[in-house]
Structure 1
Amino acid sequence: MTNLKESIGAAFRGDLIDDKIACVPYENDTSIFELKPRLVARPKDVEDIKTLVRFVSEHKNEDPSLSLTPRAAGTGMAGGALTESVVLDVTNLNHIKSVTAERAIVEPGVFYRDMDKVTKEIGVIMPSFPASRMLCAVGGMTGTNASGEMTLTYGSTRDWVKRLKVVLSDGNEYEFGPLTPNELEEKKKLSGLEGEIYRGMHELLEKNYDLIKKAKPNVSKDSTGYALWSVWDRETFDLTKLFVGSEGTLGVFTEIEFALTKPKEHRKLVVIFLKDLKILSTLIGKVLAHKPETFETYDDRVIKFIMRFLPDFVRVMKTGLIKLGLSFIPEVIMVLKGGFPRLVLLAEFTGDTEEEATQKAQAAFDDLKQFDLQMEIMQTQKEAERFWTMRHESFNILRKHSGKNKTAPFIDDIIVAPEKLPEFMPKLDKVMAEYKLTYTIQGHIGDGNFHIFPLMNLHNARDRDIVIELGQKVFSLVFEFGGSMSAEHNDGIIRTPFLRQMYGDTVYRLFEETKNIFDPQHILNPGKKVFGGDLAYVKDHIDKVY
């Protein structure tokens, strides 16, 4: 097919972009990869999406390279929205259709920040937002099963999606939600692709029921593979659980219904300086027993990096250097007493009243006194903001001052059960030390989820080799401890080659079968999750001018 744009024709009413310069923004997301799309399609509405899917389906045999990769805001770190075929940009589907105190119905191109503004006007939120909540769109959040600092209490996006409208690989739009066994049996009687999916998936899940339940990673959150274990419990059959986190490989979202909740208004932060990792699992257990809403961490490298580039931190805090320095006097005293911390832990407790939040924080503080730790309760939100800014802004400051080196997300989302961290972290340090990289560790300590961002110069062949070598070593270590290579960021290009190792051949084949049931021609974001490239493909597609 020589001219794809002309071939799609007038039936598509949105924008079709094949100009090389105009396509440049679609060659990257926030991952380390670069793929040059053949065409960018920006549909005007759902009918355009249906037209596009049907076109690709009808011409797949003629042109086997044809496929569609959905893309929303392009903030993913795994390369999930990149393709060398057709990008399906859903940014025109950006309508907030309705919001009540219980539900928000939105299109996939809606930015989370816009939905959040509307829901907060009536005192509710959708709480599974990631750190990129000011930049990301809800379609991407749903496609990756995004989560963030509030996940400890509220769960991942999969827990908040209650209904979906999806264009499947036959080019028709369908609605999905939870079904009773009787409703499932009625769906299985349908003709066409919808009936085939219900029959095929029910058979797959029932035939392999015990195996699938055992395959679920033993961590509090996970965004790898297909969440087969969440679909069917023999009481409820819910394919939304499968679509969430599927990275656009099973269908194209056209409408998402989120549940909403009323957040606690008052909060108190307990800051803990931890020098001895041997007590980490016991400490985490003690803190979690008091039910913090969030429990975050960053390591000593973050502190040192912030100190090195203190003027940037001052600007972010919108204060003066002397005033900021004076505000940290209590923490300086803590360091002098207890030594420089290996980790800083942030446990935030919330309540409907100031008194309730304070009581929770004080109870946790008192319970931790047995460990002889350096710690304090922040008395005001202004005091707490200093530590939250370190947690949230360290990545941006690191990226700004990296020079020729750039922050390289490829081991950026590992998760291990918290009780295993005292044994896991020294082994992780040993692996990282082999490569003498500058890097920081931060993340969600309550879940055992860490974001590691090395600084690398991907112009250099050796650094590209390290991406592969270090990725293999870190993921193998994570698997050894029963963890997952991605709690929040999903598989994309970077982690797809490791899924078979993580789950084993039998479960991986069930993932392949799932893909074939939904998308037998492999026209929807192929190469992600299953049937993907090997490590040589990963290395070849690293952005060398990143």
Structure 2
Amino acid sequence: MLKDELQKLFSVEILDDPETLEKYSKDASIFTISPKVVIFPKDSEDIKQIVKYVSANKLSITVRSGGTDMSGGAIGEDIILDVSEYLNKLIDIDENSTIVQPGMFYKDFEIETLKQGLLLPTYPASREICTVGGMVANNAGGELELTYGPINKYLKSMKVILSDGNEYTLSSLNKEQLNNKITQDNFEGKIYSEIYNLLEENKELVEKARPKTSKNSTGYDLWEVYNGESFDLSKLIIGSQGTLGIITEAEFKLIKPKKHQILLIISLPDLKQLDIVVKKTLEFKPEAFECFDDQTLNLALEHAWDISANFKHNNRLFAYLDMISGKKNALPKLMLLANFTSDDKNEALKQAQSAKEALKGLNLTAEIKETDKNQEKYWLIRHKSFGLLMKYSKGKKASSFIDDIIVKPEFLPEFLPKLNALIEPYKDRMVYTLAGHIGDGNFHIIPLMDLSKEEVRAVIPELMEKVFKLVFEYKGSMSAEHNDGLIRGPYLPEMYGDDVYQLFKKVKEIFDPKGIFNPHKKVDATFEYSLKHMSKG
């Protein structure tokens, strides 16, 4: 038994009981893969020794922390390494930066940073249940990314254990430092040398492949590594889903969050002028610009009593009555939430008022909500509706496969009707809502489906192919925040073309020549393997 052999070598907790293996065979995706053992390392030294063992014994290792990955990135066949049990500490924090271990839950991390009046603004919607390591590994983002940019903008350095079993610090290097690394006669030097040569020899190809959207978490981030002056291998580890190495520490710079927020609610009866509305609103620089559709709103109204339990600034009964008062009115096709922030409340209000004024004459209604009390129900509908959908759709599973598409906002009036037309024929086999980050053109569509039925499972590859083809026609990305994993990895050649895909494969080979890190995800994912491991219930 693998557990017995490992236990003789390592003084760490190792489990292989049926209950544990069942728990770790699933993440938040539609896949099931049962591991052989689950290991809970206590420090970097444990991980280094385990990696060396795995490499010598032709096994594989998948790192896991929160288990909230929606693409199948946190499950694997051999060893699951759960870093959330012990590698979950905030190591250091000062007036503008922090060092944290990968297994620390973001909600706990944020409590500590806010004590210093600081924030890491790239948190995802799963901020209550995800870990910092998972955020980095997936290149995750959320509603504040519109203003503050992706997580790689805030990562100053990281410690990573590579496939030789040694720990390295990765950060931005100048030309002299890069040259020193390249001339090293060891595994680290080999990686620096080969990645540098790959980028130099394929400079035009790499730049041409740069995604045309504001967010992207597919492939490996080749276009961010080297700008001719600085060279930073950590840009490849971000978003790599543990396929290139194991993160043991991350150092972030932090921001000071704004003190006041004013919310502009925009209700659209149709999508005809959506591009104009988005463009005009963005001119006034909202910190966040979110949306949800009429199906989301209808769901919230049907289950208003449940949602009202989450109110913090309102009496529950009054909040409930306020919500259901909207039932008598025709529902808007799309609701947009533009959040304006400033340390000066009057400045935030002025921005919101100016945006509202700019929308005059368009076929819409716009309201300004100045207080937390008046803003609360809109944010709760945006954040809680999917949980309600799961709760009240018995026998159906949240099925993430077209859950994170993105196109430029100016294409939305054309793109969204075409998207709805593609999904419409499948409505008898799934229910879904549409919500997301309208300011980026990033939408989350997570259907609920009965995966015990073969004809329902067959919808997934069929609809994915159609939706991704449409996304690519508009120069979009199949994933802005949720990454490739098992579900989207097979589509990387279609999105980037074979030449760039081969560069991704080469990166994997350079970092992980024996293929020990999280196999069958991202660049070595295949349709055959992924479909074989789709859950059947």
Q: TM-score, normalised by structure 1?
A: 0.95
Contact 2:411 2:474 in 1 (8 A): yes
Q: CA offset at residue 198 of structure 1?
A: 0.3
Give the 3 Å change call, closer, same or farther, for CA 312–514 of structure 1 in structure 2: same
Contact 1:50 1:167 in 2 (8 A): yes
The equivalent residue for 1:313 is 307
The counterpart of 2:19, out of the listed 14, 21, 25, is 21
The equivalent residue for 1:63 is none
The counterpart of 2:137, out of the listed 139, 143, 161, is 143
The counterpart of 2:70, out of the listed 63, 73, 77, is 77
The counterpart of 2:532, out of the listed 518, 522, 540, is 540
SS in 2 for 1:434: helix
Letter in 2 for 1:375: A
The equivalent residue for 1:440 is 433
1:22-55 C-alpha deviation (Å, 9 max, x unpaired) = 2221011111111100111111111110000000
Q: CA offset at residue 223 of structure 1?
A: 0.3
CA–CA distance in structure 1, aligned partners of residues 534 and 26 of structure 2: 10
Contact 2:146 2:288 in 1 (8 A): yes
Contact 1:271 1:376 in 2 (8 A): yes
Q: CA offset at residue 409 of structure 1?
A: 1.3
The equivalent residue for 1:427 is 418
SS in 2 for 1:270: strand
The equivalent residue for 1:35 is 33
Letter in 2 for 1:386: K
Alignment of 1:134 with 2:136, yes or no, is no
Deviates more, 1:315-324 or 1:371-380: 315-324
Unmatched tracts of structure 1, length 5 or more: 61-65
Deviates more, 1:141-150 or 1:474-483: 474-483
CA–CA distance in structure 2, aligned partners of residues 476 and 78 of structure 1: 19
Q: CA offset at residue 537 of structure 1?
A: 2.4
CA–CA distance in structure 1, aligned partners of residues 6 and 192 of structure 2: 31
Alignment of 1:528 with 2:526, yes or no, is no
Q: CA offset at residue 193 of structure 1?
A: 1.0
SS in 2 for 1:203: helix
Identity of aligned residues (%): 47
**Counterparts of residues 507-522 of structure 1 (less than 5 Å):** 507-522=500-515
**Counterparts of residues 388-537 of structure 1 (less than 5 Å):** 388-436=379-427, 437-534=430-527, 536-537=528-529
The equivalent residue for 1:257 is 251
Q: CA offset at residue 322 of structure 1?
A: 5.5
CA–CA distance in structure 1, aligned partners of residues 519 and 21 of structure 2: 20
Letter in 2 for 1:29: D
Deviates more, 1:471-480 or 1:315-324: 315-324
The equivalent residue for 1:378 is 369
Alignment of 1:234 with 2:254, yes or no, is no
Contact 2:73 2:521 in 1 (8 A): yes
The equivalent residue for 2:200 is 206
Contact 2:433 2:445 in 1 (8 A): yes
The equivalent residue for 2:355 is 364
Contact 1:317 1:386 in 2 (8 A): yes
Letter in 1 for 2:95: A
1:450-480 C-alpha deviation (Å, 9 max, x unpaired) = 0002121001111110111111111111111
Contact 2:301 2:323 in 1 (8 A): no
CA–CA distance in structure 1, aligned partners of residues 75 and 243 of structure 2: 12
Letter in 1 for 2:512: D
Deviates more, 1:312-321 or 1:102-111: 312-321
CA–CA distance in structure 1, aligned partners of residues 517 and 187 of structure 2: 15
The counterpart of 1:96, out of the listed 73, 90, 99, is 90
CA–CA distance in structure 1, aligned partners of residues 447 and 239 of structure 2: 26
Contact 1:188 1:196 in 2 (8 A): yes
Q: CA offset at residue 238 of structure 1?
A: 0.7
1:180-235 C-alpha deviation (Å, 9 max, x unpaired) = 11110010011221000000000000110111011011000000000000101101
CA–CA distance in structure 1, aligned partners of residues 20 and 192 of structure 2: 40
SS in 1 for 2:91: strand
1:262-286 C-alpha deviation (Å, 9 max, x unpaired) = 0101000000001221211111111
CA–CA distance in structure 2, aligned partners of residues 160 and 131 of structure 1: 18
Letter in 1 for 2:318: K
1:241-269 C-alpha deviation (Å, 9 max, x unpaired) = 11100000000001100110001010000
Q: CA offset at residue 410 of structure 1?
A: 1.2
Contact 1:13 1:44 in 2 (8 A): no
Letter in 2 for 1:415: I
CA–CA distance in structure 1, aligned partners of residues 374 and 304 of structure 2: 17
Q: CA offset at residue 329 of structure 1?
A: 8.7
**Counterparts of residues 178-217 of structure 1 (less than 5 Å):** 178-217=172-211
Q: CA offset at residue 328 of structure 1?
A: 5.0
The equivalent residue for 2:113 is 119
Deviates more, 1:208-217 or 1:19-28: 19-28
Letter in 2 for 1:492: G
Letter in 2 for 1:513: K
SS in 2 for 1:412: coil
Q: CA offset at residue 315 of structure 1?
A: 2.2
CA–CA distance in structure 1, aligned partners of residues 266 and 95 of structure 2: 36
CA–CA distance in structure 2, aligned partners of residues 326 and 82 of structure 1: 44
Q: TM-score, normalised by structure 2?
A: 0.97
The counterpart of 2:338, out of the listed 347, 353, 368, is 347
CA–CA distance in structure 2, aligned partners of residues 155 and 513 of structure 1: 28
Letter in 1 for 2:2: L
CA–CA distance in structure 1, aligned partners of residues 497 and 407 of structure 2: 18
Contact 1:270 1:377 in 2 (8 A): yes
1:375-399 C-alpha deviation (Å, 9 max, x unpaired) = 1000211111110000000011101
CA–CA distance in structure 1, aligned partners of residues 323 and 300 of structure 2: 13
Aligned length: 533
Deviates more, 1:305-314 or 1:37-46: 305-314
* RMSD (CA atoms): 1.5
CA–CA distance in structure 1, aligned partners of residues 308 and 447 of structure 2: 24
Q: CA offset at residue 372 of structure 1?
A: 4.1
The counterpart of 1:175, out of the listed 169, 176, 181, is 169
